[in-house]
Structures are given as C-alpha cells and as structure tokens.
Amino acid sequence: MEFHKDFSPLDRFLCILHLSAHWESCNFIPFVFMGQINVAIIGGGTVGGGVYQALKRNGRLIASRLGIGLSIRNVVVRDLKKKRNVQIARKHLSTEWKPVVDDPKTDLVVELVGGVKIARQIVKRALSQGKPVVTANKALLSEHGEELFSLANQNGTNLYYEASVAGGIPIIKVLREGLIGNQFPYIYGILNGTCNYILTRMKREGCDFQSVLEDAQRLGYAEAEPSLDVDGFDAMHKAGILGSLAHGFWIPPEQIHVEGIRDISQQDIQFADQLGYGIKLLASIKPLAGTKASNAVQISVCPTLVPKGHVLAGVQDVFNAVYIGGDIVGETLYYGRGAGQDATASAVVSDLADAALDLKHQTHNRIPPFSPHAEDGTVSPWEETVSPFYLRLNVVDRPGTMSQIAAILAEAKIGISSIIQPEGHEGNMVPLILMVHDAKVGAMETAVKQIRKLKVVRGQPKVIRVENFEE
C-alpha cells in the first residue's frame, strides 16, 4: 500500500486501521488512500481546458487504473476574468507560472501555452528542478527537442510529448514502444487536419482554395493567420519528430523540405482525379534508396499525388493518419482526429498517466524521451530525392509544342509516362499535363526551368510529386 508523501505516520496507521475494519465490505480501495500526484497545468486555453475537464470527468477512473491519483493543483492563465468554454475552479487559477513551477508541492508540470519562447523557459525551469514535464508543443520540440531531452536526462527526469504529433493518435508510443524492434523503411503521414479538410472540400465540392480556407476559418478549422498550417510548417514540425524517433538522430527543421497547399488549383485536383489520384499534403520519411549501409534519410512535407486505391487517399476532412512500414511487423496504419480539444487532451492525459506511474515507481527514465542511436545519421538533400512527377503547363496550342518540351525532358533523361491535353478550351492556350517516370528532384527542377523559357509556355509550371508506395 502506498500513501501520499504528506501523510504522517499517525495518518497512515489510522488508514490501515480503518481499512482492516471494513475490508470485507469494500469492493475498491478508496481514492484517498491511493496517494496522489500534484499537477500544474500551464495554459488554460482550448487544450488546457480540455485536460482539466478530462481529469475532472474521469479522475477516479484514471486513479483506479493507475493506483495513484492525479490532483490538479494549479492552472496558470493570462487573464483570470476571461470567459472560458470549460469552467475552471477559481481556487486553481493563477497568472504567474514561475511560482507554480517552483512550488515544492508541484510534482508534475504540463506545458500548454503554445509558441516557443515562453514555453521553452517553462519547460527548462521545470526540468532543471527534476520535475517531469508533459507538453503538446511540436514547434518547441522540433526546434529545441535535443536540448530539452538532454536537460531532462541530466536532471534524472523525463519529458513526455505524445500530444505533439497527430493529436489523439498514440503515434509516439507506437514508435518508442510498440514497434521498438523494427527498422522503418517508410513512414507516410497526413499530419495536418486543416490542410486535409481544405483539400477534401476542394475535391468534393469543386471549390477553389481561398473560398474553402475562408469557410474553414469561420468554422474554426483554420486560424485567422493560417500560414503555419497551409504552408506546411505544422506538418513539418511533426514529421521531424517522427523522423528523429524512427531513425535515431535529431532532425533539424531547416533540413526538412516543406511546401504548402496554397498553389493547388481546382485544375490540379480534377486532372489528378482523371489520372487516378487524389492530392494530399503528405509527410514522407524513409531511408535514401540504394544506400542501405548508410544512415541517410529522405524527409519532406509537400502536396503529393496519392493513388485513389491507397488507404491514405481515403483519409478525409480533419482526420490524420500515419502509415508505417516495419521490417518485422510489415504495414501498419494509425488513424484518428489529429487536433481539437478532446483528441489532444486525451493524448496529454495518456502522458500524465505515464508520468504518474514513473513517479510512483521512481523510474523516471524507464522510457527515455529520445535515445540517439544513429549519431552519424544525415538528411539527404531534397535535390537527391527520386520520384515520379505530375507536371502541368499552359502552352500555345500549335504544332511542335510537345516536341520542344519532350526534347528538354529527354536531354535530362526524364521519361514521359502519359500525357493529357484536354479539348474544348477557348483561344490558343491549353493546359498540358505530363506524368513523368522516376527522376531526381534536382534534374526535374532544372528541366522545368528550361521549359519555362520556351516561347510556347505561358505562366508558371506546376510540379507535384507522385507517391506510388512502391518500396
């Protein structure tokens, strides 16, 4: 039997006496006798409120499963008078995070403030005192994860971050625990619900990007300033965390190739559909083909043509999915809500449970937050990535146009697999869509620059990667 650390010897004796007198009539150990972990939540916004609500709703259930309770000691907010969707008891609220983190009775810190600068200060201060931290902050981990994991290790504590990637999908636990015996020849992910929602509606309703974005903002699926999502940076942060865990070396965000979805047109979606594809903002993480002996990894986030028959093409609206190949387990798929109050709160509570058990059993480093095991690992330059491509051009409709374009591609040793030139366009300008065989990104970029200079080509060519999932 375990007691809270503040129980006196007399308290413990009276508890045991009470239990022995009533043991036969009890079907459970009362909550008060389990002991508890005091939790400070820094940030009372959408996710913080969701965590508070989840612990209030299912606190006793969690305690019965863990054998130890999670007690909310403080919730730090910016404004005490602000109206919140979740009612937080006034006795828990505070506006100063430093005294809360420094409080000797605070056992566990949850960082949910967002951003990087203040969040980094909070996490470092807690870890420096040997207090475990739970965070959902993918930008913080992407930019400073290596530093923070090292600090946790130096101070004999842990940093938990399940909620930082794919919301309610327990993908961090999958990579660190469930698939620990595997190498990963590929990981593909749809990691941003906002982009997936926009692309889903563009295809389903025939709308353009801007109109769907504005609707997503009204519905709360996109931020008023949407760049982090639609320009791919949110997914980039998440992809970097997954790639680092899978391949054993920390991947700096600046080494990840990233493109957003702003330039995906209704034309591209329609032509992709005719060719048997959907368009997704896809994270791709895999060792560089043909270099099995090295630790070079390809990692990118960009719009990608995905075959309509593949499971990832069926991931719709705000949902996320991660498709992982293990050399032992084979193909696995993880699907669910990647953001939102409840999904993210569920992942945070999962980390709280892990942290509470580690504190209970004094095993803070049972599963280290990150174990570098491939220190010679490198990120392959984007230009070296090999892929098929979709190429859309606006060209002058006259004899010899196609031969000029084909000649440039042939000189670059890029083969054409199919061509679409739709009929029925007014004037002498028509779209020309080429599907090309595997080519290096660098070679494709050089060829497209030369094609762009042709007098028969108008406007900016559109190049989109194609992923056929052929390993």
Distance in angstroms (rounded) separating the CA atoms of residues 424 and 230:
33
| Structural tokens at position 63 | 């305690």
- Is 424 a residue whose pLDDT tops 70? no
Could you tell me the pLDDT band of residue 30, with boundaries at 50, 70 and 90?
A: very low
Q: Which residues are catalytic?
A: 238
Residues 201 and 304 in one domain: yes
Identify whether the C-beta of residue 396 lies closer than 8 Å to the C-beta of residue 428. yes
Could you tell me the pLDDT band of residue 22, with boundaries at 50, 70 and 90?
A: very low
Print the domain residue range for 68: 34-167+343-361
In a domain, 367, yes or no: no
| Structural tokens at position 98 | 């430093």
Residues 319 and 401 in one domain: no
Task: Provide the 3-class DSSP secondary structure of residue 149.
Answer: helix
The end-to-end CA distance of the chain, in Å, is: 53
Instruction: Report the percent of the chain where pLDDT is more than 70.
Output: 90
C-alpha distances (whole Å) from 348 to each of 135, 245, 373 are 7, 19, 27
In a domain, 115, yes or no: yes
In a domain, 229, yes or no: yes
Residues 327 and 352 in one domain: no
| Structural tokens at position 13 | 């004796």
Those residues with Cβ within 8 angstroms of residue 340's Cβ, 6 or more apart along the chain or in another chain:
167, 193, 318
Query: Per mean pLDDT, which range of 126-130, 145-149, 288-292, 390-394 is the poorest?
Result: 288-292
Distance in angstroms (rounded) separating the CA atoms of residues 159 and 217:
33
Residue 25 has what pLDDT? 37
Total number of domains constituting the chain: 3
| Structural tokens at position 238 | 């998440």
Reported residue count of the chain is 471
Distance in angstroms (rounded) separating the CA atoms of residues 171 and 30:
34
Instruction: Report the percent of the chain where pLDDT is more than 90.
Output: 78
Distance in angstroms (rounded) separating the CA atoms of residues 338 and 275:
29
Residues 153 and 227 in one domain: no
Q: Within 6-45, where are the H helices?
A: 9-22
Residues 326 and 422 in one domain: no
CATH of the domain at 459: 3.30.70.260
| Structural tokens at position 51 | 């965590």
CATH of the domain at 352: 3.40.50.720
In a domain, 128, yes or no: yes
Distance in angstroms (rounded) separating the CA atoms of residues 290 and 311:
26
Residue 1 has what pLDDT? 52
Distance in angstroms (rounded) separating the CA atoms of residues 151 and 148:
5
In a domain, 196, yes or no: yes
The label of the residue with tokens 């022995």 reads 20
Tell me the average pLDDT across 181-201: 96
Which pTM was predicted? 0.89
Distance in angstroms (rounded) separating the CA atoms of residues 163 and 133:
12
Q: What is the pLDDT of residues 113-124, one digit of tens each?
A: 989 999 999 999
Residue 4 has what pLDDT? 53
Pairing of strands 159-160, 386-396: unpaired
Residues 195 and 163 in one domain: no
CATH of the domain at 217: 3.30.360.10
In a domain, 349, yes or no: yes
Q: For residue 381, give the H/E element and its range.
A: none
In a domain, 239, yes or no: yes
Q: What is the pLDDT of residues 32-53, one digit of tens each?
A: 446 899 999 999 999 999 999 9
Q: What is the pLDDT of residues 368-396, one digit of tens each?
A: 788 888 878 899 999 999 999 999 999 99
In a domain, 96, yes or no: yes
